[in-house]
Amino acid sequence: MQDLFAPADGFQTLTMDGADVALLARLDLGRPDAEVLAELIAEVPWRAERIVVFGREVAQPRLSAWYGDADAAYTYSGLHLRPRPWTPLLADLKQRVERASAAEFNSVLLNYYRDHRDGMGFHADDEPELGPRPTIASLSLGERRVFVMKRRLARGAPPSAVAPVRIPLDSGSLLLMRGQTQRHWLHGVAKLARPCGPRINLTFRRILR
């Protein structure tokens, strides 16, 4: 099997046409992952949102929450999110992610996958308030889940000859998507047939003002 990664500054860079994606296997959280995961599960006011997909309102197969600076409002899939203020834990995680990624963020979307029945369909983080070349930093906690990326095609285009890229994300890993990635690639997390434990994913973003 071809090795998709090449080491660079602690991150492994994926070789993908039209994408700038890198993976850090382990971010120092300053405390055990299990403690951070348990605190987030217990203290975040998780919501079961309803989103619009292909013109139809459906329930998200996961729980979510939006935090950030006071003016970091965000809209996606028909949802209009006003940020909750940073908690001490989330502010600390943001600083650690910023140091590792050499980027600055003013918001974070938390997704809580309770078990194998929760997932996320293919999509791109291409909302106007993120700008044309957003940097998205994705921190995983808890159960390993596979993050899948596939080429983004124009409506009616034939299937891509480029195989999807599957990236197992372990607890404590940090995935960066930068540059033109959202323009050319979609990403998602599939539901599983087998039972698994909980996972929280924190995607740090910068909302343009």
Q: What is the pLDDT of residues 32-85, one digit of tens each?
A: 999 999 999 999 999 987 766 667 777 778 999 999 999 999 887 677 889 999
pLDDT for the residue numbered 89: 98
Best CA proximity match to 203, nearest among 116, 76, 114: 76
Instruction: Write the pLDDT tens digit of every residue in 115-163.
Output: 999 999 899 998 999 999 999 999 999 999 999 999 988 776 777 778 8
The CATH fold assigned to 5-205 is: Jelly Rolls (2.60.120)
Task: Tokens for 113, please give them.
Answer: 């996958």
pLDDT for the residue numbered 4: 56
Asked if the model's pLDDT at residue 97 lies above 90, the reply is yes
Enumerate residues 6+ apart whose C-beta is below 8 A from 164. Answer: 148, 149, 150
Q: Are 65 and 43 in contact (CB under 8 A)?
A: no
Q: Which residue has the higher pLDDT, 164 or 52?
A: 164
pLDDT for the residue numbered 57: 75
Q: Are strands 11-14 and 20-24 parallel, antiparallel or unpaired?
A: antiparallel
Angstrom distance (rounded) from CA 182 to CA 202: 17
Ordered by start, the domain boundaries in the chain are 5-205
What's this model's pTM, rounded to 2 decimal places? 0.89
